[in-house]
Structure 1
Amino acid sequence: MKKSIVVPAVLMVSVFVVGTSEYLIAGLLPQVAADLRVSVPTAGQAVTAYALGVVIGGPLVTILTVRLPRKGLALGLLLLFSAGNAICALAGSYELLIAGRVVASLSHAAFLTLALLLVTRVVEPRRAGTAIAAVGSGFSVATLLGVPVGVLLGEGAGWRAPFAVLAVLTLVVAGLLAAVLPRQDAPATGVRAELRTVVRPRVLLVIATTAVGLAATSTVFTYLAPALTGITGFTPAAVSILLLVYGAGSLAGGLIAGRLADRSLAVTVRGTFAGLAVVLMIFPFALPWQASAVLAVLAFGLLTSATTPVLQSLVLRHAGDAPTLAVSVNVCAFNIGIAAGSALGGGLVAVDGLRWLGFAAAALSLAALAISYAAVPRRTPVPVSASRLVRGG
């Protein structure tokens, strides 16, 4: 089989495992709280601890490992991730659970960054957007399949069981990656080159676009289930099915956007945020009726995940020969945007603004659109070759 097919597939599965671990804990909080004898809000700090580990640890780990051979680093990060999940599976105390989450999170941003860069090594430069979307689709599959299955396993066999399974799956994926990934030499660029790249104006603009754009989607998505039950009148079981619809839309949207980004990155970036703004503005008016709410959720899913491949492709275009830290910081910007959007949505919900979250989110999407005009030049730079990307990261 061609490595241009096998390597992206294995990397996608790796991202699926990482994404499942990140979101799984949220569905198991009641069981974790009861077993470890803490409150549900306290157990929820396991989510916060992971997010902070990604945002703070991601760039730090990336800087510390920037001169290491790429294949060895990828395998080492997966082993660290497996160890973190194993600690969670064996945790007999709340403190040990938090420690396991932090250990796993330290490899999250660095591995995702590496996966996005490695996949460009085995495809033609003109197909970089499609390849990035394929690898990134692992997160959509994690939301669509991995998390629900993990929660069901946790409910039946105890909350530690899915973490133990993830620890083993990570080792299996590491073995597959060791078999299919070609040896990658240490990058020629150093920390100074990476730091110079990440502070380039256009790179910073892309990172800002990412943070604001993800804040837009998170403002609505965080409170999507309460809105669908409280305003639309769906039952909790129906909401679960609708979240599958959202996940299916996300998977399709990411893959479609990746292909479009290969044709015209500027048009895809702007079209994504413009379309997202329109859907979000319509959202408050679609919620009272079930048929229109279903369509709105599907369109929302399609456009939400479309942001990921286009923004990562944009970072790669602007980063040149030293993209590693820039991509890592952009991964962190996704998490910062998600946290900010959740906080904004929570504040609006507290003042009875649940139905009208779409308006605030649409304003953020328009802001991301405005920033993207500065981030994307009229003539987008020609993609650097796959080999240059790997040497740079």
Structure 2
Amino acid sequence: MPAGLVALALGGFGIGLTEFVIAGLLPQVGRDLAVSEAAAGWLISGYALTVAVGAIAVTAATAGLPRKPVLTALVVLFVLGNLLSALAPNYPVMMLGRVVAALCHGSFFGIGSLVARRMVAPERASRAVAVMFAGLTVANVLGVPFGALVGERWGWRATFWAITGIGIVAVVAIAVLVPGWAGAVEGGAGKAGAGDGAEGAVAVGMTGGVAGGTAGGTAGGLPAQIRAMRSRQVWLTLAATALSYGGMFGAFSYLAYTFTEVTGFSDTDVAWLLVVYGCGLVLGNIAGGRGADRNRDLTLIVSLAALAATLAAFGLLASSPTASVILVFLTGLFGFAPVPGLITRVTDHAHGVPLAAGANVSASNVGNALGAWLGGLAISAGLGYTAPLYVGAGIVLAGLATMLLAAHGSSRKIP
């Protein structure tokens, strides 16, 4: 495994911690900064909204720039945001720190996925993306308990100091370990590879090593990137991304209520149940990357079908503790399995432009917001705490239909 992938995974781990850790710290932060629960909750919502907007805006603003320096600068921005949070004397400064940190999130994973796949042979592209996202999935498992543990022992600010330290290590690791050629931007169309010309670009490093990767594709400025986004396949894949994330997150947002109000678990059980879910995410990420490198569209279709079936079964069997533990693990497994393939699919059909990778992250966050909103509406309508699971299954089925349409309409098979 290239050391540069490990550096990107470390960056992803730190950024993932920033996203998830706040959930376990909200009571402490709210009390210390003297704000209501609703205001404290905006430290989560504000972060997510900034990710959705920033993924496209920051990626567009850096169009045409060499990707390694951009990635390094993004992690520096992440460090500054968490430093602001650690030092925040009041709520506005704390919110500013969250927004600054969130600005780097979408673009890091979008641009980083392009750099990651250039460090490996083309047939291992999805696995390379999965390695980078492994940091995010591990952060999902450890984020809330890590924040709660450190916060309880040394205070919530100590958590953000720790994440700032992780960010500094990630900056150094990316600067040292990610090869410059993996982050270079090619001019012109590049070499045509398999599919629609997006897999070409084989870069030769200074050591003589060869790394396959994305797109020799359309690297240029913003107008060229926008032109590359016109493909119907790009928009179908973005829609499938939003719907797959929306279905999973619509169910995930209310799992604590399902566990305590339907299954009968105690509040203290929720933390380890979410760890089970996170373990499913980690394994789903690995399996999804491997499967996508063998047959991407089939892996996406099977994963989405399995996720819809799992959520529906969860709704039916939520009163059983044993079934709930198994099904929450499978929700994580099938929920994250499509992620590597969706990223490589959208960037391939957009000829490797960073804007497509950023748009993919934005689509996932839009889906998250949609799923959580629809799940909340179902509960408010008096349909019970299993309703978000059924709503999630319905959203994923819409994503599956979209993916089937995309696969059928793809004029050429892209591995």
Q: Quickly name the TM-score band, shorter chain normalised.
A: over 0.9
1:185 aligns with 2:184: yes
Question: Where does residue 389 of structure 1 map in the other structure?
Answer: none
CA gap 1:84/1:187 in 2 versus in 1, 3 angstroms:
farther
1:110 alignment partner, one of 101, 107, 111: 107
* TM-score, with length taken from structure 2: 0.88
Aligned to 1:272: 303
In the alignment, the residues of structure 1 paired with residue 54 and residue 221 of structure 2 have an alpha-carbon distance, to the nearest angstrom, of 19
How far apart are residue 237 of structure 1 and its match?
Answer: 2.5
Aligned to 1:344: 374
Distance (Å, rounded) in 2 between the aligned partners of 1:296 and 1:278: 10
Equivalent residue number for residue 3 of structure 2: 6
2 CA distance for matches of 1:288 and 1:182? 51
Displacement of 1:66 after TM fit?
A: 1.3
Deviation at 1:239, TM superposition (A): 2.2
SS at match of 2:25: helix
Shift of 1:47: 1.2
Aligned length: 379
- Name the % identity: 37
Partner of 1:151, secondary structure, is: helix
Aligned amino acid, residue 184 of structure 2 = D
The one-letter code sitting in structure 2 at the alignment partner of 1:234 is: F
1:80 aligns with 2:111: no
Structure 1 residue runs of 5 or longer lacking an equivalent are 384-393
SS at match of 1:16: helix
Give the match's secondary structure for 2:179.
coil
Cα distance change, pair 187–59 in 1 and its aligned pair in 2 (3 A): farther
Matched, 1:126 2:105: no
What aligned pairs does 1:279-318 form with structure 2 within 5 A after superposition?
279-318=310-349
Q: 1:76-112: per-residue Cα shift (whole Å, max 9, x none)?
A: 1111110010001000010001111111111111111
Paired residue type of 1:295: I
Show the 5 A alignment for 1:92-107. 92-107=89-104
Q: C-alpha displacement at 1:380, in angstroms?
A: 4.7
1:131-165: per-residue Cα shift (whole Å, max 9, x none)? 11111121110011233112211122111111111
Show the counterpart of 1:55: 52
Number of the residue aligned with 1:334: 364
- Alignment partner of 2:334: what SS? helix
CA contact (8 A) 1:15 1:138 kept: yes
- Asked whether 1:361 is paired with 2:392, we answer yes
2:27 to 9, 27, 30: 30
Residue 43 of structure 2 aligns to a residue in which SS? helix
Aligned to 2:143: 146
* Root mean square deviation of aligned Cα: 1.4
- Measure the CA separation in 2 of the matches of 1:112 and 1:358: 28
Contact 1:69–1:187 (Cα < 8 Å) also in 2: no
Cα shift readout 1:267-324 (whole Å, capped 9, x = no counterpart): 111101111111111112211111111111111111011121121121122111x421
Distance across 1 between alignment mates of 2:385 and 2:143: 28
The answer to whether the 8 A contact 1:89-1:160 is kept is yes
What does 1:218-257 align with in structure 2 at a 5 Å threshold? 218-257=249-288
* SS of residue paired to 2:27: helix
Indicate the larger mover: 196-205 or 370-379. Answer: 370-379
Farther-moved stretch of structure 1 (146-155 vs 267-276) = 146-155
1:221-244 CA-partner distances (Å, limit 9, x unpaired): 001111011111112222221111
Structure 2 residue matching 1:68: 3-state secondary structure = coil
